[in-house]
Amino acid sequence: MPRNLPGLLDGLELIRQDFPILGRTMADGHPLVYLDSANTSQKPQVVIDTMVDHLERHNANVARAVHQLGGEATEAYEAGREKVAAFIGAQRDEVVFTKNASEALNLVANTLAWAEGDLRVGPGDEVLITEMEHHSNIVPWQLLTERTGATLRWFGLTDDGRLDLSNIDELVNERTKVVSLTWVSNMLGTINPVREIADRAHAAGALVVVDASQAVPQMPVDVVASGADLLAFTGHKVVGPTGIGVLWGCRDVLEKLPPFLGGGEMIRTVTMERSTYADVPSKFEAGTPPIVEAVGLGAAVDYLGHVGMENVRRHEEAITGYLLDGLSSVKGLSILGPKDPHDRGGAVSFELDQVHPHDVAQLLDSRGVAVRAGHHCTKPAHQRYGVQASVRASSYLYTTPEEIDALVEGLEYTKKYFRVD
């Protein structure tokens, strides 16, 4: 297979040198081939160094101490917020830090049950999701509707892994209060028409929530242009640290939502009788926040901004196309989801006839190739296609054609090991 692919990042080997873990040698002398970036991305040295420097030289709590270290920590934490806001085309005060995307989505689902006025979800209302959602964008809405008496509905999936919008006029109606959907599927790779669906939802008076955990790492994202009212993603998939997520929201929506957690820093005043609350985003950031993680996330989006998200997207399309071609060459292998790399993300799930996904992953791991096996927190989507589990290979800006070749060779080795024709 040709390796000089149009669209690959210029200086790919130099980019790989920014990620120290990619130089690791695994068991039996195999070089690490990391194809699990949809699960978590690797971290460039600049993110590691930035976090270490903060802990070594600037560590203190934020927004509390009047000493110099406290001022430095607060400045660094808020600088992380400003960098994230700029990265997604948002205003600084619209960015709320959480511990991950799951917490951000739970924040929204819970506060909509407690909200006053037109945002409150209650009996007779409908919440609309999709069958391809990550569990983090299913379970919170199930809990919300169970607790409030609202009804949960969903878009189905077509045979080729796309949203079935044939009944959108029936699903999006005057009872629809919330539409929540993934931008890019972590299992199928499908890129959903978020703006189109958002426009339909807004015409019906519904609020639009977007899980952008797979979108923000892979392509340019402008939250305003997306049409979303609220959008969530996680830091560890955008070459940043674990332990930090982002909830972006239109300011007027955030101001109407009540607090999610109570405690320090989210208050304005507290008496024994009642409390009043700080302005957004502080209203949603109770207690000591993920300070060094916010600093690291700021460094991560700076790094991606330097590379250029348009360049990252071109690389993802090129390497995903190469991956799809390589997998298609393996007899007995079935790909789940769209086959066109230009309208899908970099996560590719597949089945190998007569071999359990966990066995495939273990054999690949013995050759240094890291993939994921299981249901990828998308059990309903797997059930839709009649499979219990799948193998998922997912690329990123540091993935090379040679790594895809190693995967394909590993799959052929797996077939021989299990004596599969």
The pLDDT > 90 percentage for the chain reads 96
pLDDT tens, residue by residue, 174-230: 999 999 999 999 999 999 999 999 999 999 999 999 999 999 999 999 999 999 999
Write down the residue that tokens 């203190």 correspond to: 60
pLDDT tens, residue by residue, 345-401: 999 999 999 999 999 999 999 999 999 999 999 999 999 999 999 999 999 999 999
Work out the average pLDDT over 123-147. Answer: 98
pLDDT reading at 146 higher than 90: yes
pLDDT at 253: 98
pLDDT tens, residue by residue, 25-76: 998 999 999 999 999 999 999 999 999 999 999 999 998 788 999 999 999 9
pLDDT at 1: 41
For the chain, the distance separating the N- and C-terminal CA atoms, rounded to the nearest angstrom, is 22
pLDDT at 65: 82
pLDDT at 3: 57
pLDDT at 421: 80
pLDDT at 64: 79
pLDDT at 194: 98
Calculate the average pLDDT of the chain: 97
CB 352 within 8 A of CB 360: yes
Work out the average pLDDT over 326-332. Answer: 98
Could you list the active site residues?
Answer: 377
| Token reading at 31 | 């070089």
SS3 sequence of the chain: CCCCCCCCCCCHHHHHHCCHHHHCECHHHCECEECECCCCCCCCHHHHHHHHHHHHHCCCCCCCCCCHHHHHHHHHHHHHHHHHHHHCCCCHHHEEEECCHHHHHHHHHHHHHHCCHHHCCCCCCEEEEECCCCHHHCHHHHHHHHHHCCEEEEECECCCCCECCCCHHHHCCCCEEEEEEECECCCCCEECCHHHHHHHHHHCCCEEEEECCCHHHHCCCCHHHHCCCEEEEEHHHCCCCCCCEEEEECHHHHHHCCCCCCCCCCEEEECCCCEEECCCCHHHCCCCCCHHHHHHHHHHHHHHHHHCHHHHHHHHHHHHHHHHHHHHCCCCEEEECCCCHHHECCEEEEEECCECHHHHHHHHHCCCEECEEECCCCHHHHHHCCCCCEEEEECCCCCCHHHHHHHHHHHHHHHHHCCCC
Decide yes or no: CATH 3.30.230.10 for domain 12-41+308-417.
no
CA 218 to chain CA mean position, Å: 10
pLDDT reading at 271 higher than 80: yes
Residue extents of the structural domains in the chain? 12-41+308-417, 48-306
pLDDT reading at 156 higher than 90: yes
The pLDDT > 70 percentage for the chain reads 99
CB 70 within 8 A of CB 267: no
pLDDT reading at 2 higher than 70: no
pLDDT tens, residue by residue, 280-293: 999 999 999 999 99
- 33-34 and 369-370 as β-strands: parallel, antiparallel, unpaired? parallel
Decide yes or no: CATH 3.90.870.10 for domain 48-306.
no
